């Protein structure tokens, strides 16, 4: 067994869907000495990261960078655009959509949740129907999750924008792409998003600690009338300081070093190639799951996430599913690999394989081999050959 005070040989396989493994190149960048955050050297860094992150979001609009988790950026998106008692329409795609709704409730918003089954993405037609019925335009914002980390389902944000437009509704569109940014195609400007929320610890390949609001002109205008309390999260002062490359508080200097390097890495590879690489690894993973005779949680192949795959545990013959968390413990203890746990409604009967960030074919094959070996060790019924199915697909598509 892997004991807490032991030091197993080789690298730990961190195959949860975030935080993702931090590549050496970014670790080395973060190792640079901390500098004066009011000096010219930092100013150059600030201007660089603020310009580079716009390219990652595919926006010409400002991107606010906070020293916080993604939850902070959720709150920032809401408090900068809304007022107490405002109606907000949200869509249940999984645990993180549900948590965002709970945060809205705590802020005093009237958050309405369109219920989902955690196996499909956002149905834009249901949003359209609700907005059409809102003839008084009481709904001030629509909030959806782009890549739902708890389920491995990716929603069509362009379709949501089109639904809002067809309804001729003025509601803002707020989108969480915390696990999508840098791994799945995302277009803040082209898709007409008003506030995009993201974080550092997934596709950007950084440790946790930075979060983002990409902000449209419409959202900035809404912020002038929004009355929810805000101090630390307020956009106005931050954006004013950002114009000169600075922040109104002490920024996370060394994480910004890492962010500059992460953006360089993504842009050097090319975002389209990054997205294609993630799609390919997602397909290889699903082929392995099918070869094992198991089920992917996401039911619509058009909504398969390129970031992670949630796998449903098989039944034991008595109508009871094998315990996903017991299986994950065995994989950790015997093979030094962390897999993502099931969250919320799928806790205990789903595990999640992350295939995002600084990731290549051999990393994926090592991951899948660890899963298959874990099945054997844990006595989880499955068919052999999942790893081979992934090998065959990766070999056939190598270089494409």
What's the full length of the chain, in residues?
400
Cα 22–63–14 angle (5° rounding)? 15
Report whether 29 contacts 258 (CB < 8 A).
yes
DSSP letter for each residue of 283-341: HHHHHHHHHTT-EES---GGGB-SSEEEEEPPB-SSS-B--HHHHHHHHHHHH-EEEEE
Alpha-carbon separation of residue 393 from 79, 239, 285, 305, 398 (angstroms): 46, 47, 10, 18, 8
Report whether 96 contacts 178 (CB < 8 A).
yes
Q: What share of the chain is helix, strand, coil (3-state, %, to 5)?
A: 40, 15, 40
DSSP β-bridge partners for residue 89: 112, 142
Q: Is 352 annotated as a binding residue?
A: yes
Q: How many of the other CB atoms lie within 10 Å of CB of 125?
A: 11
The Cα 160–Cα 131 span in angstroms is 11
Burial category of 133 from C-beta neighbours within 10 Å (exposed 0-12, middle 13-18, buried 19 and up): exposed
Rounded-to-10 torsion of CA 330, 332, 338, 343 = 40
- Known binding residues for substrate: 352
- Known binding residues: 352
């Amino acid at each position: 067994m892997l004991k807490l005070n032991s030091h197993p040989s080789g690298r730990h396989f961190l195959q949860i869907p975030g935080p993702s493994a931090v590549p050496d190149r970014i670790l080395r960048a973060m190792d640079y000495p901390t500098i004066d955050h009011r000096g010219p050297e930092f100013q150059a860094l600030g201007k660089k990261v603020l310009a580079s992150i716009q390219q990652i979001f595919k926006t010409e609009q400002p991107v606010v960078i906070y020293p916080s988790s993604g939850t902070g950026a959720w709150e920032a998106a809401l408090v900068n655009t809304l007022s107490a008692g405002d109606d907000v329409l949200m869509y249940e795609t999984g645990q993180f959509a549900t948590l965002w709704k709970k945060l809205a409730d705590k802020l005093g918003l009237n958050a309405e949740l369109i219920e989902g089954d955690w196996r499909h993405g956002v149905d834009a037609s249901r949003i359209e129907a609700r907005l059409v019925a809102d003839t008084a335009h009481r709904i001030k914002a629509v909030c959806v999750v782009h890549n739902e980390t708890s389920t491995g389902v990716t929603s069509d944000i362009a379709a949501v924008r089109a639904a809002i437009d067809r309804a001729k509704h003025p509601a803002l569109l707020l989108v969480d792409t915390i696990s999508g940014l840098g791994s799945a195609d995302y277009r803040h400007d082209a898709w007409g998003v008003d506030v995009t929320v993201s974080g550092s610890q997934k596709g950007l390949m950084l440790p946790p600690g930075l979060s983002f609001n990409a902000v449209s002109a419409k959202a900035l205008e809404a912020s002038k009338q929004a009355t929810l309390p805000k101090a630390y999260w307020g956009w106005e002062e931050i954006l004013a300081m950002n114009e000169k490359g600075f922040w109104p508080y002490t920024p996370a200097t060394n994480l910004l070093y890492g962010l500059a390097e992460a953006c360089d890495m993504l842009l050097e590879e090319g975002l389209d190639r990054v997205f294609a690489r993630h799609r390919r690894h997602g397909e290889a993973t699903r082929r392995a799951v099918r070869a094992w005779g198991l089920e992917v949680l996401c039911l619509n192949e058009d909504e398969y996430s390129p970031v992670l795959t949630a796998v449903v545990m098989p039944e034991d013959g008595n109508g009871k599913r094998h315990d996903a968390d017991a299986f994950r413990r065995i994989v950790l203890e015997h093979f030094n690999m962390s897999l993502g746990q099931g969250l919320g409604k799928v806790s205990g009967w789903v595990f999640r394989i992350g295939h995002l960030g600084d990731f290549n074919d051999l990393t994926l094959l090592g991951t899948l081999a660890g899963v298959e070996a874990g099945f054997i060790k844990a006595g989880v019924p499955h068919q052999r050959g999942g790893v081979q199915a992934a090998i065959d697909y990766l070999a056939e598509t190598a270089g494409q």
